[in-house]
Amino acid sequence: MPFIKAWCWIAALVVVLCLSVYGSRYFERKVSFQGEDQPLVDDRIHIRYRISVQNPSNLPVEDVHVRVRIPLMETSFQRRTGLGSEPAAFQDNTSGNPDMLVFHWELFPPHTTRMVTVGADLDIWEVPLKMPHENPERFLKAEPLLESDHPEVKALAASLKGETQLQTVKNIFSWVSHNLVYEGYVRENRGALYGLLHKTGDCTEFAALFVALCRASGIPARMMGGYVSPEGGLLDLGDYHNWAMFYHGGYWRVADPQKKRLMEEEGSYIAFLTVTPSVSGERAVVAGLEGSGMRVGLNR
């Protein structure tokens, strides 16, 4: 009996030690992100996408550069933890945009197509993380194609004001998602006022009008660009999408009036950029191409 009791005490001590070690590791992992008490990672996914670079001419092309966007390093719902490409590329730090890869060929042969593959590992959260280094106040001002200072935008925003900030957001979301008609992809960015006046647009106009109405109501909001990919894997680059984010209660939240999702499935939105609608080329993964006569194609 004493022998059995001794072993029971030893077993209990081992269990306590294991729980202590596990608990400390759990706590360290929980507080390691941005030095705050943040939720544990809900999912870890890998995404990849391919681009073809083509020289259709019968002459070689010198000094070819292709700039390709990559998922943002950090948002309220994602953190990039790994990055790779084939062929090798370098991050575009010269332009102040580290969320870009640059592929370079000193001499691109004639009648040749080269495939570019990019892969990224992402930690995903289903609940928002605080972003203490961001200043939401800068997303309150009117700007080209986000015409929050236009009289008609301001009048509509005033009519949608709710008793609370969140109710105002819900009113704006409901109005945009039910009054605009989705017309399919349109290459041109036409902006918030166009969406309001014509009651039509693609995902860009839906997001732009939501953002402009929020800003007119004193609620920080911004447009995002990227992909909706709940499980990762190979992206269809033709599915590029714009949505909105608004700032409420210390967190950035997702609003997608075109898909009629408000604070739903937020972890499935993989952001590649914060969109400035008036800047051309901000609706594409390929952000730049240098080389006479060169072409790029998107994996679909």
Close Cβ partners of 294 (under 8 Å, ≥ 6 residues apart): 53, 54, 55, 61, 64, 108
DSSP state of 129: P
Predicted model pTM: 0.84
Helix axes 191-198, 203-216, angle to 10 degrees: 100
Distance CA 69, CA 296 (A): 14
125 vs 19, more confident: 125
pLDDT greater than 80 at residue 92: no
What's the whole-number mean pLDDT along residues 141-150? Answer: 97
Q: Cβ atoms within 10 A of the Cβ of 21, count?
A: 10
Distance CA 300, CA 289 (A): 19
Which pLDDT score is estimated for 204?
95
68 vs 98, more confident: 68
What's the whole-number mean pLDDT along residues 273-289? Answer: 83
Q: How confident is the model at residue 284 (pLDDT cuts 50, 70, 90)?
A: confident
CA torsion through residues 259, 261, 265, 270, sign: positive
Domains annotated on the chain, with CATH: 43-125+285-298 (2.60.40.1170), 136-275 (3.10.620.30)
Over the chain, what is the mean pLDDT?
A: 87
The letter for the amino acid at 78 is Q
* Tens-place pLDDT, residues 29-57: 333 344 455 678 999 999 999 999 999 99
Q: How confident is the model at residue 256 (pLDDT cuts 50, 70, 90)?
A: very high
pLDDT greater than 60 at residue 20: no
CA torsion through residues 290, 294, 299, 300, sign: positive
Q: How confident is the model at residue 181 (pLDDT cuts 50, 70, 90)?
A: very high
Which pLDDT score is estimated for 5?
47
Distance CA 206, CA 146 (A): 11
Supply 19's token pair.
Answer: 């729980």
Which pLDDT score is estimated for 230?
85
The letter for the amino acid at 77 is F
